[in-house]
Copies of this chain bind each other. A is one copy, B any other.
């Protein structure tokens, strides 16, 4: 019974099973921000490794890269038109320049894929460079599509 209640609650909260556009805009914003928060969590510890400020740990790079691979798929459907009016740091360019926004997403996916590949290769310089590539892809998108913080 508890399981049924939980599942029903989830379905109601998330608008599950209904068309995507019917998920509440505030929920979509919360979900996309959650994905960005976690991208930061798993990119963060690799940054000082890429900068030579911390020892490169190949196991951490491989693990974090695999989670970033999943996370890199998560934010984009949260930028639905229905969320334009919700307070967030997203700039109007997200909706006014969809092709450019999509290109920035693809750029990020590609950088994460390159990091996943490098993390399997065992070459430290390649891993450091690929970590920098992911950071650059984050920054490139924020530059055009996120309000300056």
Contact = CB atoms under 8 A, between A and B. Distances in A.
Interface of chain A: mostly helix, strand, loop or mixed: helix
Query: For the complex formed by this chain, how many copies does it contain in all?
Result: 2
B41 A38 contact: no
Contacts of A15: 44
A82 to B, nearest CB: 15
Contact of A45 (B17, B34, B45, B67): B17
Interface of A: 2-3, 5-8, 10-11, 13-17, 30-31, 33-35, 37-38, 40-41, 43-51, 53-54, 66-67, 69-71, 73-74, 132, 135-136, 138-139, 142-143
11 contacts: A7-B132, A10-B135, A11-B51, A14-B40, A14-B41, A14-B45, A17-B45, A34-B34, A34-B38, A67-B73, A67-B74
